[in-house]
Each structure stands twice: as C-alpha cells, then as structure tokens.
Amino acid sequence: MRASTIMLVAALLYAVHRWATNQKTVDPKTIVEVVFAVLVIGLLDQGETEPVARGFAWLFLFGAAYVALPTITAAGQGKAPGGGQWHSVLKKGK
C-alpha cells in the first residue's frame, strides 16, 4: 500500500473522530493540515525515500486510530463526550 493512501485513511479516521465528538468535522485549518501532510508524504513516497514515507504514514495512521477508535466505539454505545453524533442517531431509532 502506498504511503499517500495510508495518510488518506488516517485523515479519514481523524475526520470521523471529530464528527463523533460533535466537533466541526471539516474546517479550513484542518483542510490545510491534511493537504500539507499528504503532499509531503506523497513527495517522499518516491524513490529512495519511499520506506521513510511509508514509516511516517503508518505512524500517522496508528496515531489517528489510537485517538479515533475508542471514541468511535464509545459513540456507538452512546457513551461519547457530549453524546456524540451516534448517540443522537441511536436515540431517534428507539
């Protein structure tokens, strides 16, 4: 898997985490940060620096998963801070 693809998955996890915690999911600051990170990793994802780019991309993915997955799991159970988006969806279904 290419490092830039891994970075995009990490960015998606970050966006889902923000959504699940009732934060503004996409704002200009977040867009600039994600585009910059993916661009840098994409530029490194060629030639001799490819293993370095892949290592950094996996670190970003692990960091995003470490933050996002417990929040997403808690939101699915209705225990997220502020109830989370999932909590409101689950309450409407009952």
Mean pLDDT of all residues in 44-72: 89
Q: Tell me: pLDDT of 61 over 90.
A: yes
pLDDT tens-digit series, residues 3-22 = 999 999 999 998 888 888 88
Give the pTM: 0.72
Can you tell me whether residue 42 is helix, strand or coil?
helix
**Looking at residue 47, what is its pLDDT?**
87
**Looking at residue 72, what is its pLDDT?**
72
Alpha carbon distance 82, 94 (integer Å): 19
Strand intervals (E) in the chain: none
Alpha carbon distance 21, 46 (integer Å): 36
pLDDT tens-digit series, residues 65-81 = 898 888 777 767 766 55
